[in-house]
Amino acid sequence: MNKLKFVPVLITALCAVNFGFAQVGINTTTPMSTLDINGNLTIKEIGIVNANVAGSSTFNGGPAGSATQINDGVYISLTPTAGNDEFILPNAVDVPGRIYILRNISNAVTARIYTFGGAFYAKDSNTATGAPLNMPANALLKTIIVISDGANWTYIF
């Protein structure tokens, strides 16, 4: 009788293992990746006041030594103000694979980016860049993409 109780558990476990390697397709019958999307993708945006997004608000910086923590969203519009121009990323170790797209929407103040852990590396360098990363108000470097490799942050202007 005990062997009969074991059979459903074994079948369930084998099915769960099989589903653990599944690929998900959205608008495709033959997904080629873990997640394969044939169509548009919308990601969470925070920062800009946007009438089309409920609860959207500006993402203001913090004063020197008390940077505003970045820990939510993917596309984040930064609004630094004089004296409140610092933003800080999470520790890269805690968020491997995390990607942020940051944009300084100020026309007057440079946004300064720090991290709770991990160094900053330019996409084409093996030498760490000293913090902060500066995102000028009126220049070509207003947008930056940062990616955690599980130890450090790689950035692309």
For residues 105 and 145, membership in a common domain is answered with yes
pLDDT in tens, the chain (157 residues): 555 555 555 455 545 444 556 788 889 888 888 888 888 776 666 654 433 344 445 567 888 888 888 887 788 989 898 999 999 999 999 999 999 999 999 999 999 999 999 999 999 999 999 999 999 998 888 999 999 999 999 999 8
| 32/49 same-domain check | no
- In this structure, the answer to whether residues 33 and 88 fall within a common structural domain is no
Residue pair 132/86 in contact (Cβ under 8 Å)? The answer is yes
Distances (CA, A) of 15 to 4, 104, 111: 18, 48, 50
Structure tokens, 46: 């925070």
Do both 89 and 140 map to the same domain?
yes
- Whether residues 62 and 127 share a domain: the answer is yes
Co-location of 13 and 58 in the same domain: no
**How distant, in Å, are the alpha carbons of 14, 61, 81, 139, 144 from that of 108?**
59, 14, 8, 11, 17
Residue 117 domain boundaries: 45-156
- Residues 75, 19 share a domain: no
Same domain, 33 and 60: no
The predicted model scores a pTM of 0.71
Do residues 50 and 28 share a domain?
Answer: no
If one counts the domains in the chain, the total is 2
Residues 49 and 30 in one domain: no
| CATH number of the domain within which 108 lies | 2.60.120
